[in-house]
Amino acid sequence: MANADTGTAATESGLDSAVIERASEWAGVDESDLCDALVVLHADLIGRHGRFERTYDYVTVDGTRAYRVADEAWEELLGEFEFEGAVADAARLAHTEQAKLLFASSVRGDDNFDADESGIVIGIDTAEQF
C-alpha cells in the first residue's frame, strides 16, 4: 500500500504509486526521497511540455502525456538538479516504466523503447491544458 508521500507524488506527477514503489526498490533509495525528487522534477517538466511535444514521439492516455525521449534529454534534464545519483536513477526508471505502460495502453500500443531511449511523463493536470 502506498504511503502518503507516494500518493502525493503519484497525484502530482502522473506516475502510478506502484511504479514509484518499484523504482525506489530497484534503485535502492528511500521512497520519500524519490517522491520529493519526482514532485520537484514534475514542476520543471510542466514548462518543457511544448519542447518535448515538438521534438519527441508521445502519447496521451487518460490525460497523462508520455514522451519517448533520447537518453541525452534525461542527462540534460538531470544535470540541472542536484539529486543523488541513485535518486536520479530511480526518477528516470519511474518515468521510463510509466511511459512504457502508457505507450502500451495507447491506441498505437508501441512500448518498444530503443536501448538509448527513456520516458518522461507529465501528469494529468498539465498535458491536456497546452
pLDDT in the model for residue 3: 56
pLDDT in the model for residue 129: 47
Reported confidence tier of residue 24, pLDDT bands at 50, 70, 90? very high
How far apart are the C-alpha atoms of 45 and 69, rounded to whole Å?
13
CA nearest to 70, candidates 90, 52, 45, 48: 52
% of the chain exceeding 90 in pLDDT: 55
Rounded to an integer, the average pLDDT of 83-102 is 94
Is the predicted pLDDT of residue 96 greater than 90, yes or no?
A: yes
Rounded to an integer, the average pLDDT of 4-16 is 74
**Whether this model's pTM surpasses 0.95:** no
Helix (H, G, I), strand (E, B), or coil: what is residue 103?
Answer: helix
